[in-house]
Amino acid sequence: MSADAVTALALSIRVALAATLLNALIGIPLAYVLARRAFRGRALVDLLVTLPLVLPPTVTGYYLIVVLGRRGWLGAPVYALTGWSVAFTWYAAVIAATVMALPLLVRTARAAIESVDRELEKAAFTLGRSEWRTALEVTLPLAKNGIIAGLVLAFARALGEFGATLMLAGNIPGKTTTVPLAIYTAVQTGEMGEAVTLVLALTVLSCAVLVLAGRLGARAA
């Protein structure tokens, strides 16, 4: 394996892990709220979270540029203040991967949380537990396998992210070139040996992740 391939693989794993962590922090509370709370705008939140699942990744990437790019809604004030922009950094790759993977976690975790018997939560209330503590001690532990399966899926999705990453983070070798981007570059430049190595590496990694998710999913069911 070439040094560039190893760099790309290391970057991909780093980005996927960071995106999975962000997914856990954002996605699990979001899944809980969507599953258990009725609030105004719930359908809208659900729609926004799910949208990257059905939109072409380039479209999602475009929206990310509109929001976070140097001239974006959020990106412009940040750039004006600090002279720094998230676009074309490895953080951008993490953000792109997070947004693309979020629907997989939220949908899986939400289904798992919804399948927890509400009587158990009511029982916890009558035994003095607040809703917050009930979620931590009853609901989430019982939805654990579904949530972990969702995280594994999110990790796999983040690992394979291409379109949105290319839009927001670009293809900068050693900085934002993850494995899928490196494969694309290798094929474009005719380095078939490099491409095959990376293709096989990503295939093996993704298979391992899916097998793991399948096992956890089976236990959750």
Which residues bind to another protein, rule: CB under 8 A?
117, 119-120, 122-130, 138, 141-142
Q: Which is nearer to another protein, 120 or 204 (CB)?
A: 120
Residue 179 near residue 134 (C-beta atoms within 8 A) = no
Q: Which is nearer to another protein, 146 or 180 (CB)?
A: 146
Rounded to the nearest whole angstrom, what is the least distance from the CB of residue 125 to another protein in the complex? 4
Rounded to the nearest whole angstrom, what is the least distance from the CB of residue 28 to another protein in the complex? 17
Q: Which is nearer to another protein, 129 or 175 (CB)?
A: 129
Rounded to the nearest whole angstrom, what is the least distance from the CB of residue 23 to another protein in the complex? 24
Structure tokens at 48: 């926004």
Dist CA 187 CA 196 (whole Å): 9
Cα 86 to the chain's mean position, in Å? Answer: 18
With helix as H, strand as E and coil as C, how does 34-54 read?
A: HHHCCCCCHHHHHHHHHHHHH
Residue 6 near residue 137 (C-beta atoms within 8 A) = no
Q: Which is nearer to another protein, 42 or 122 (CB)?
A: 122
How many residues are recorded in the chain?
Answer: 221
Rounded to the nearest whole angstrom, what is the least distance from the CB of residue 220 to another protein in the complex? 13
